[in-house]
Every structure is written in C-alpha cells, then in structure tokens.
Amino acid sequence: AQSVTQLDSQVPVFEEAPVELRCNYSSSVSVYLFWYVQYPNQGLQLLLKYLSGSTLVKGINGFEAEFNKSQTSFHLRKPSVHISDTAEYFCAVVRGSGNYKLTFGKGTLLTVNP
C-alpha cells in the first residue's frame, strides 16, 4: 500500500517570499505523483503531476515540483508567493497500474501574509 507524508501541517510566509511544501511518499510499486490545491469551500484543483520523464515538473500559477526517487520525495516550490496562494495543498499518489485510487497526504495550509 502507498502512503504520503506532508511534513508541515502549516506554513506561514510573507508575500513575495519563496516557499517549499514538503511531501514524502512510500510505495513498493511505481507511482504517479500529484499536487492539488483546495481553496475554502471548494473542491480540489490539480497544480501539477509527475508521471515519468523529467524530474522537474512545472504546473499552474508558477508552481513547480521535483521528483526525487532516491529520497522518495516530491516537494512543491514557488519562488515568489502571492496573497491569493493562501490555500490548503495536498500531495497525492496513485499506483502506476491503472488502479485509479488516490492516496492523499494530510495537507499543508499555506498562509501568505502581507
């Protein structure tokens, strides 16, 4: 079975500062990795995904993530955050076998302060 650990439950930052949200996963089989964002009272929106190929993945809203197989990590980064980036961020994995069952981390609440 897969598991996902998001190392920080809350990350406060100031506007225009860089941010990194950390995600580690555990799986005995190959997986695909995702980052989703959730705004209050909304569903989940996909930020980016890693399926194969280049380990640096670029997503929407200026976010990027790097897949590190040896460290089983998939950290999310943004060089300069905005107030509007305040939201909860979820890292998720799915087995790379057609089994479409997402396993999510507990989430990281990113709060961007002026």
Partner 1 sequence: KAGVTQTPRYLIKTRGQQVTLSCSPISGHRSVSWYQQTPGQGLQFLFEYFSETQRNKGNFPGRFSGRQFSNSRSEMNVSTLELGDSALYLCASSGQGVNTEAFFGQGTRLTVV
Chain residues binding partner 1 by CB under 8 A are 32, 34, 36, 41-46, 49, 51, 90, 92, 94, 96-107
Closer CB to partner 1, residue 41 or residue 54? 41
Minimum CB–partner distance for residue 18 and partner 1 (Å): 26
Closer CB to partner 1, residue 68 or residue 97? 97
Which residues contact residue 67 at a Cβ distance below 8 angstroms, ignoring those fewer than 6 apart?
Answer: 33, 50, 55, 56, 57, 73, 74
Closer CB to partner 1, residue 28 or residue 99? 99
3-state secondary structure of 67: strand
